[in-house]
């Protein structure tokens, strides 16, 4: 029967029935008339026709049975039965619903994150055409592209619709009462064209505005528009004062447009024909391109490679070694968190599996307890299918209740997600929508089948049910072997999860124990707004930074003040190749090191000791450097390094720097990495985004207001922002790590508790089933401790087997965590041993309770009941 017809019938069941009744009564009427013609009285004719027709109501029902309506009716009946049955055992129902709510909720929450971050396309039209481009160089990592080259790539390729680029700086907006720090994205031409997004209000940049010396123009974010202009469309045409210049607002971007990142409030053109943008060597654009429709990544790579090869021939000095790299934009955005998210998803799926196993075991006990009821139903003529259907309906009811509750859990969980991992890409896109609801429903149905089908089939075995109806009271059912196997599986999965969590926790602990080589306590960091334009006058910029630092040092409560381009302990790499002007033997290894730009006071501020030589000085005429011990030992035979001159071949503008001293090794590139060889250029940085660091006597946060006022006094046109203790920056850098650890630990704890509930429940059931046997034995003189030992052993045997399986599984799956661990191996014996000990201890406790109960049975009372 076609499904739509059934569906139609469901929608109009009344119509279907009355049609049928009309048809059948017509038949009876015709028959009666015929009989009457044959000489019967009217009354008798009708009665005979009726009788001949057979059971009238049965006809109606048999005909109707063909459609879904009848099926639905029995479904509703099953639902009613299920609700009644579940209502009678509230403890069972609550356990199952809560277990499922937790399992489905955690699963849906992680799925909502996976869906938003990994699966959903980026929020741009035809977003799979968007790619990120970068220059590549065999020696020097270059994430950026030079403006000239960007324009050439855009002009000479034939696989891209357009290529654009952007970079950001922090700007002080001065039209309000106080300077406000805003993040400004400077964008190459074709920016909006590449994204495929039009301003929600106003217009795109005009060609004049994209030219050097052309009129200023700025697009503002939806957020700024609402905050500053109250969402008034009049904002377009108003003027913002950024630094010394006035920028007319030409439009407002849609709220969903969060690129280059979610903090950007202003977009303004960066002229590609500016004199300072003509160098082939200075790179600053992050380049984004949009492929032509149907062009594959490989074609684009080949095309751009040949474009760049031609440029290499034209400008051999600068371009010969440079290549072009292309990566899908989505991959560039979310690729880094894929593994973390998938591991979390794997663990919540294990959790759901444990929950299902647990429920399956509970249902088996329940089915056993209901053997009598089921055998009665069989003897009254129920078909096996209908018994299975009824048992499954019961599970479906609890699953759906669990899923509904789980969705609430998921809604709460996505909030936790946001607060724990602020820096997760695309986090603002995570939320509950109908897809997540569908997913939870699918989980519920899968859970129903997973937990329900096996107990239902077992429970509805006709012969078993029949025989047990007579003999059941004295027989230990064969169910419990299966149940124990299920409990063993739960223990094994719980051990696996706990081992994963244990490894992450241990590595977190190791990380905390690391001595970083610097002191991150009592250090406050902040930015002071400045623009790239100001870097043109190096001397003035330098004087400004010195003035600020001197001013800060004069503030009581501040021990020292320094500035640095990057923060210590926050993972960042800036690998450079160095040479000494004194020359080295060709056979010696290449000098590769991390380059850092700091003022001399940096070392005192974060307490990196000078171990040899003297502290460098920031002098405007000569360039001085410090190196760390690893660098000196690796490349320059220790203290012989002092007095030599370092140059950076890739940076021709940088004069040779004399090594003045050697400092201790510090884990500047991240607490989880060994200190790499490092060169410190002793020159303050005056780029936008430079960090200022001050060491305070007391709690660093308490100095924030003082510092703000001091800077306002020194530099009234600049804003101070992002005042954060160094400690917080470092822990934020490990936020993803922390999220992973917290969540996995939470899941593992839940898994262990579920497994214990499983052990306890199954053993309790067994005790119930065997209480007469135990009573008999006690009556015949068995010692109570023996009884305890027997049940305890039974519980522990399952746990031990489960633990063994779990350890094997944990070691096998441990590979997935490699690279996320610090200081522990994936098969760390201490961790695995600890996990096994915990699980065994808890499961022993869970087994002890029912075992004690068995031993406390009163034999005479029980036996008298027989």
Partner 1 sequence: MGAKKNDILQGTLALLVLKTLSSGRRMHGYAITAHIQSVSDQLLRVEEGSLYPALHRMEQDGWVRAEWGKTEKNREARFYSLTAKGRKQLMQEEESWARLTEGVARVIRYA
Please give the size of the binding site for partner 1, defined by CB under 8 A: 22
In whole angstroms, the minimum distance from the beta carbon of 75 to partner 1 comes to 20
Nearer to partner 1, 16 or 305 (CB): 16
Residue whose CB is less far from partner 1, 9 or 399:
9
Stretch that binds partner 1, among 62-70, 571-579, 607-615, 642-650 (CB under 8 A): 62-70
Q: Verify binding: residue 71, partner 1, rule CB under 8 A.
A: no
Pairing verdict, β 623-628 and 657-663: parallel
Of residues 568 through 607, those in contact with partner 1 by CB under 8 A are none
8 A C-beta contact, residue 813 and residue 496: yes
- Judged by CB under 8 A, does residue 37 bind partner 1? no
Taking residues 221 to 250 in sequence order and writing x for each that binds partner 1 by CB under 8 A, - otherwise, the string is ------------------------------
At closest approach, how far in Å is the CB of 41 from partner 1? 20
Least CB distance from residue 52 to partner 1, whole Å? 7
Q: What is the largest CA-CA distance in the chain?
A: 135
Assess contact for 659 and 557: CB atoms under 8 A: no
Which tokens go with 834?
């600890």
Q: Does 66 sit near partner 1 (CB under 8 A)?
A: yes
Kindly write out the interface string for residues 11-30 of this chain, putting x where it contacts partner 1 by CB under 8 A and - elsewhere: --------xx-xxx-xx-xx
| Helix (H) and strand (E) counts in the chain | 28, 21
Closer to partner 1 by Cβ: residue 34 or 619: 34
Examine residue 62 and tell whether it contacts partner 1 (CB under 8 A): yes
Would you say 6 or 339 has its CB closer to partner 1? 6
Minimum distance from residue 56 beta carbon to partner 1 (Å): 9
Nearer to partner 1, 1 or 780 (CB): 1
Stretch that binds partner 1, among 59-67, 358-366, 397-405, 759-767 (CB under 8 A): 59-67
- DSSP, collapsed to helix, strand or coil, labels residue 166 as strand
- Work out which of 52, 239, 475, 509 binds partner 1, going by CB under 8 A: 52
How far is it, in rounded angstroms, from Cα 659 to Cα 638?
12
How far is Cα 95 from Cα 97, in angstroms, rounded to an integer? 6
- Using the rule CB under 8 A, give the single segment among 52-60, 312-320, 367-375, 432-440 that binds partner 1: 52-60
> Closer CB to partner 1, residue 71 or residue 526?
71
Q: Which two tokens stand for residue 478?
A: 């064969």
Binding span for partner 1 by CB under 8 A among 54-62, 128-136, 522-530, 619-627: 54-62
If you ran DSSP here, which 8-state letter would residue 608 be given?
P
Does residue number 53 form part of the binding site for partner 1 (CB under 8 A)? yes
> Which residue in 38, 39, 54, 213 binds partner 1 (CB under 8 A)?
54
Task: Name the minimum Å distance from CB 51 to partner 1.
Answer: 11
561 has which bridge partners?
A: 694
In degrees to the nearest 10, what's the CA dihedral of 36, 39, 41, 47? -60
Report the residue number, 21 or 89, with the smaller CB distance to partner 1: 21
31 sits near partner 1 (criterion: CB under 8 A) = yes
Kindly state the smallest distance separating residue 26's Cβ from partner 1, in Å. Answer: 5
Q: Find the part of the chain contacting partner 1 (CB under 8 A) among 50-58, 211-219, 458-466, 672-680.
A: 50-58
**CB neighbour burial string for 63-97, b if at least 16 within 10 angstroms, e if fewer:** ebeebbbbeeeeeeebeeebeebbeeeeebbebbb
Helix/strand/coil for 201:
strand
- Closest to partner 1 by CB, 31 vs 461, is 31
Using an 8 Å Cβ cutoff, are 242 and 184 in contact?
yes
* Residue 536 interacts with partner 1 (CB under 8 A): yes or no: no
Q: Which residue has the tokens 């018994």?
A: 387
Say how far apart CA 654 and CA 281 lie, in whole Å: 13
3-state SS, residue 186:
strand
Q: How many residues comprise the chain?
A: 866
For partner 1, the binding residues in 270-299 under the rule CB under 8 A are none
Minimum CB distance to partner 1 smaller for 66 or for 808: 66
Cis, bond preceding 260 (omega within 30 deg of 0): yes
Cα–Cα distance list, 411 to 106, 109, 398, 433, 750 (Å): 10, 7, 20, 10, 19
Q: How far is the CB of 27 from partner 1 (least distance, A)?
A: 5
Closer residue to partner 1 (CB): 6 or 772:
6
Please report, in angstroms and rounded to a whole number, the separation of the first and last CA atoms in the chain.
55
Q: Which of 17, 59, 136, 175 binds partner 1 (CB under 8 A)?
A: 59
Nearer to partner 1, 29 or 274 (CB): 29
Structure tokens belonging to residue 184: 């400004």
Q: Which DSSP category does 415 fall into? A: H
In angstroms, the Cα distances linking 70 to 126, 269, 444 are: 48, 69, 25
The CB-of-70 to partner 1 minimum distance in angstroms stands at: 12
Task: Detail the DSSP E strand segments found in 703-848.
Answer: 720-725
Give the other-Cβ count within 10 Å of 709's Cβ. Answer: 12
Give contact residues for partner 1 (rule: CB under 8 A). Answer: 1-2, 5, 19-20, 22-24, 26-27, 29-31, 52-55, 58-59, 62-63, 66
């Amino acid at each position: 029967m076609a499904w739509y017809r059934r569906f139609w019938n469901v929608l109009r069941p009344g119509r279907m029935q009355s049609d049928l009744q009309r048809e059948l009564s017509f038949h009876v009427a015709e028959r009666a008339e015929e009989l009457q013609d044959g000489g019967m009285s009217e009354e008798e004719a009708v009665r005979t026709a009726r009788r001949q027709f057979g059971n009238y109501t049965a006809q109606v029902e048999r005909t109707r049975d063909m459609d879904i309506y009848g099926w639905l009716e029995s479904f509703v009946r099953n639902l009613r039965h299920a609700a009644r049955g579940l209502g009678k055992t509230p403890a069972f129902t609550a356990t199952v619903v809560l277990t499922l709510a937790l399992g489905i909720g955690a699963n849906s929450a992680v799925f909502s994150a996976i869906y938003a971050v990994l699966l959903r396309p980026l929020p741009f039209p035809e977003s799979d055409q968007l790619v990120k481009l970068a220059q590549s160089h065999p020696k020097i990592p270059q994430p950026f592209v030079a403006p000239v080259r960007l324009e050439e790539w855009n002009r000479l390729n034939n696989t891209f619709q357009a290529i654009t680029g952007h970079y950001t700086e922090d700007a002080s907006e001065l039209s309000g009462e106080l300077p406000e720090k805003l993040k400004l994205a400077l964008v190459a031409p074709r920016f909006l064209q590449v994204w495929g997004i039009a301003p929600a209000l106003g217009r795109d940049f005009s060609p004049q505005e994209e030219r050097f010396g052309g009129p200023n123009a700025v697009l503002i974010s939806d957020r700024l528009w609402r905050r500053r202009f109250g969402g008034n469309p009049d904002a377009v045409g108003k003027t913002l004062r950024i630094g010394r210049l006035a920028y007319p607002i030409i439009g407002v971007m849609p709220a969903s447009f969060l690129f280059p990142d979610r903090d950007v409030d202003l977009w303004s053109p960066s002229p590609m024909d500016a004199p300072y943008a003509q160098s082939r060597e200075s790179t600053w654009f992050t380049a984004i391109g949009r492929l032509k429709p149907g062009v594959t990544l490989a074609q684009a790579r080949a095309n751009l490679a040949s474009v760049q090869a031609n440029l290499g021939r034209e400008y051999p000095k600068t371009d010969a070694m440079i290549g072009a790299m292309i990566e899908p934009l989505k991959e560039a955005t979310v690729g880094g968190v894929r593994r973390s998210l998938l591991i979390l998803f794997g663990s919540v799926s294990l959790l759901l599996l444990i929950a299902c196993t647990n429920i399956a075991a509970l249902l088996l006990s329940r089915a056993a307890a209901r053997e009598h009821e089921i055998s009665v139903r069989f003897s009254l003529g129920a078909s096996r299918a209908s018994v299975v259907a009824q048992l499954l309906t019961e599970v479906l009811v609890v699953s759906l209740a669990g899923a509904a509750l789980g969705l609430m859990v998921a809604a709460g969980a996505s909030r936790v997600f946001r607060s724990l991992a602020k820096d997760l890409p695309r986090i603002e896109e995570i939320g509950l929508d109908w897809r997540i609801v569908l997913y939870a429903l699918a989980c519920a149905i899968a859970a129903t089948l997973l937990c329900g089908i096996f107990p239902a089939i077992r429970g509805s075995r006709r012969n078993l049910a029949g025989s047990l109806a007579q003999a059941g009271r004295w027989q230990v059912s064969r169910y419990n072997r299966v149940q124990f196997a299920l409990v063993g599986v739960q223990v094994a999965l719980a051990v696996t999860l706990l081992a994963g969590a244990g490894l992450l926790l241990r590595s977190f602990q190791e990380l905390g124990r690391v001595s970083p080589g610097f002191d991150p306590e009592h250090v406050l960091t902040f930015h002071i707004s400045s623009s790239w334009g100001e870097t043109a006058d190096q001397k003035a910029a330098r004087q400004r930074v010195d003035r600020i630092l001197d001013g800060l040092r004069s503030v009581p409560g501040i021990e020292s003040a320094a500035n640095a381009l990057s923060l210590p302990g926050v993972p960042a790499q800036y690998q450079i190749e160095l040479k000494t002007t004194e020359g080295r033997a060709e056979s010696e290894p290449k000098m590769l090191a991390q380059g850092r730009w700091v003022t001399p006071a940096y070392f005192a501020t974060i307490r990196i000791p000078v171990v040899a030589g003297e502290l460098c000085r920031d002098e405007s005429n000569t360039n001085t450097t410090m190196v760390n011990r690893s660098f000196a030992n690796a490349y320059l035979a220790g203290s012989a390094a002092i007095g030599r001159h370092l140059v950076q071949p890739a940076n021709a503008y940088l004069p040779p720097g004399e090594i003045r001293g050697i400092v201790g090794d510090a884990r500047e590139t991240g607490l989880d990495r060994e200190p790499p060889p490092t060169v410190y250029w002793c020159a303050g940085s005056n780029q936008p985004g430079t960090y200022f660091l001050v060491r305070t006597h007391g709690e660093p946060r308490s100095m924030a207001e003082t510092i703000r006022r001091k800077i306002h006094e020194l530099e009234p046109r600049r804003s101070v922002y992002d005042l954060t203790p160094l400690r917080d920056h470092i822990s934020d850098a490990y936020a993803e790590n922390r999220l992973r650890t917290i969540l996995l630990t939470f899941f593992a704890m839940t898994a262990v508790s579920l497994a214990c509930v499983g052990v306890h429940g199954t053993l309790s059931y067994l005790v119930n089933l065997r209480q007469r046997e135990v009573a008999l034995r006690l009556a015949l003189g068995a010692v109570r401790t023996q009884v305890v030992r027997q049940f305890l052993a039974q519980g522990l045997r399952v746990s031990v087997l489960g633990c063994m399986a779990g350890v094997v599984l944990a070691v096998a799956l441990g590979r997935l965590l490699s690279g996320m661990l610090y200081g522990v191996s994936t098969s760390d014996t201490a961790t695995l041993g600890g996990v096994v000990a915990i699980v065994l201890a808890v499961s022993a406790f869970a087994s002890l309770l029912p075992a004690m109960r068995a031993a406390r049975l009163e034999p005479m009372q029980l036996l008298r009941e027989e």
